A and B are shown apart, each in its own frame.
Chain A
Amino acid sequence: MATITLDNLAHSYLPDPKTPEDFALKELNHDWADGEAYALLGSSGCGKSTLLNIISGLLIPSQGRVLFDGRDVTTAPTADRNIAQVFQFPVVYDTMTVRENLAFPLRNRGMEAEEIARRVGRVGTMIGMEAELDRKARGLTADAKQKISLGRGMVREDVNALLFDEPLTVIDPHMKWELRTQLKKLHRDFGHTMIYVTHDQTEALTFADKVVVMYDGRVVQIGTPQELFERPAHTFVGYFIGSPGMNLFDATLDGRQARIGDATVDLGAAFRHRGPVQVGVRPEFIRLATGGEGIPARLRRVEDVGRHKIVRLNVGGTEVSAIADEGEAIPADTDRIRFAPGAVNVYADAWRLTPEGGDAR
């Protein structure tokens, strides 16, 4: 196990990149702490897989360095890094039995037969395939195959890190939940560093201690699920995490106040920034009102999604969502919205501004 350090890392698939736009992965510095479970979250094509392949050594970055516990492995082949990786589509060796599949990475490393048998037996139980160990891998279902792929990573107990590249894409929903639980358990039991790539926020938020959100080749925020929810560092994080995503209002700053259209809202803290900003408020923190203070809004429709209701409103031409409790009555004459205190974030050029005096807490 190791701390993985990315030092000025960037990658372009073009032979001669000129501008940051030519890079699939833009410059990045980060330490992946030993033994932590990370989720790498972002929409497809944002550079997640590129980053993962650089860490595992399948790809050599066009600039910057990768360090394992301080050792430079940037150009080292995959074999030298002792990394396990599970891919989006299950990779099994069709002609081998399940047992041989699980033993394969160990056998390639010249391990003793006894030790291999012990580990394979254990991993077989762990992935719930002990009954099928002597079956040929060909013809198994997609989730059984993916379990074998996971198992091939787990048999190597001394790996520096376990990398998962959207491993549950092809798995049935109920199996997804089960496999994810097993992965968490595995993480608790062994304490491997895990990096889990996904575009599914639920998967990311439930799996990881820390979530790394990527957007357009950049890491836009690294934080706990709670931080991502309460203080999205970038409007993309606000939009991508949460359902529905964060509401954004064009505004101008005036000390502790922001003007949104004709209305003025109190931000709870002072911000210093010249030029236009955006005020971001999650639907969970929007309160509905009739008359009185607040921003004028027109009620458009109410969607009941079970646990709660989503209220769609129109504020000065833009669509705004609010979340109301299941039992809460939505008056038809609602014409104002207010923001819950302390739940307001301010963005300039899509990046979050910190209030003067720093964030509370």
Chain B
Amino acid sequence: MSDTIPETVLSSRDMTIETPRRAARRFRPSGSAVVMGLYLLFLMLPIYWLLNMSLKTNSEILGTFSLWPRNLTLANYEKILTDASWYMGYVNSLIYVVMNTAISLAVALPAAYAFSRYSFVGDKHLFFWLLTNRMAPPAVFALPFFQLYSSIGLFDTHIAVALAHCLFNVPLAVWILEGFMRGVPREIDETAYIDGYSFPRFFIRIFMPLIASGIGVAAFFCFMFSWVELLLSRTLTSVDAKPIAATMTRTVGAAGVDWGVLAAAGMLTIVPGALVIWFVRNYIAKGFALGRV
């Protein structure tokens, strides 16, 4: 036996594999799961109830109280999806939301870059002034907006709503993007300039891909706040650009409220949001922290 390797070392060359110890991984009902279960139940119940109602006929809604639809019907959805005055509400909403998101990002990107990289006369005041617009109650601006857009002939157009929503979305987009841009080391900018990139080319080819997740998050928030806002969008439209949220008031008729259709319309307004969340789910938490984590 010439092979004398120290005892400890030798034994580690070959090993017996036992069944892994499960002590640390054993299942036990965790308090956290119970808390989260209850909280999610609280969040989902009202939405479930809306879904439940949207699948019932009006007579069932008013006649019997049931936890799930006894006579499952898609008639309420059918009515919305086949009636142009209904589904155009969705189209209108989506048009101005997408327009608003595009405009907000287009102007917020260079501004956020300026705030994150340079200091200039009045930068802090400007930044705070932008934020004050996020604080402006839409109710304060409803009437002046109505008059402003009427006087320049934009009343009841998609662009009017898109521009009006810029009031709170642009400051928010600047804020979020600035947070994400701060995380990109400025050496990258300097290297690019030394390599002979012009500013626009650098910004689009190098910088924007770096903060792609930030742009995604900012877009999500613009989408979200534009989608959920009603006061301004209702004030600035009457027929051609009327948003779905405003269309829903039609369900209140002389014969009372058409609950089924109202519930179905409500359910359909949740769908776009749910789809969008799915795409940004990994960035939601960071995004809500405005990129500042």
Interface residues of A (CB under 8 A from B): 8, 10, 12, 15-20, 23, 26-30, 60-63, 74-75, 218-223, 233-234, 271-273, 348, 351-356, 358
Contact = CB atoms under 8 A, between A and B. Distances in A.
Contacts of A17: 17, 20
B23 interface: yes
A139 to B, nearest CB: 19
23 contacts: A10-B15, A12-B20, A17-B17, A17-B20, A18-B17, A20-B14, A23-B17, A27-B15, A29-B8, A29-B11, A30-B8, A62-B20, A63-B18, A219-B8, A219-B12, A220-B9, A221-B9, A233-B5, A271-B2, A353-B3, A354-B5, A355-B2, A356-B2
B24 interface: yes
Contact of A16 (B5, B12, B20): B20
Given A15-B25, A26-B15, A221 B6 contact: yes
B9 A219 contact: yes
A10 B14 CA distance: 12
Contacts of A29: 7-8, 11-12
A218 B12 contact: yes
B161 to A, nearest CB: 46
A238 to B, nearest CB: 14
B21 A62 contact: yes
Contact of B13 (A8, A10, A218, A358): A218
B2 A233 contact: no
Contacts of A348: 3
Interface residues of B, number: 22
Given A26-B15, A219-B8, 18 more contacts: A10-B17, A15-B20, A19-B17, A23-B17, A26-B12, A28-B11, A29-B11, A60-B24, A62-B20, A63-B19, A223-B6, A233-B5, A233-B6, A348-B3, A351-B5, A352-B5, A353-B3, A354-B5
A132 B21 CA distance: 46
Nearest to B10: A351
Nearest to A15: B20
A40 B20 CA distance: 25
Interface in B1-51: 2-9, 11-21, 23-25
The 5 A-B residue pairs with the shortest CB-CB distance in the complex, in nearest-first order = A27-B15, A62-B20, A354-B4, A63-B18, A60-B24
Contacts of A222: 6, 8-9
Contacts of A16: 20
A52 B103 CA distance: 54
Nearest to B19: A63
A1 to B, nearest CB: 22
Contacts of A20: 14-15, 17
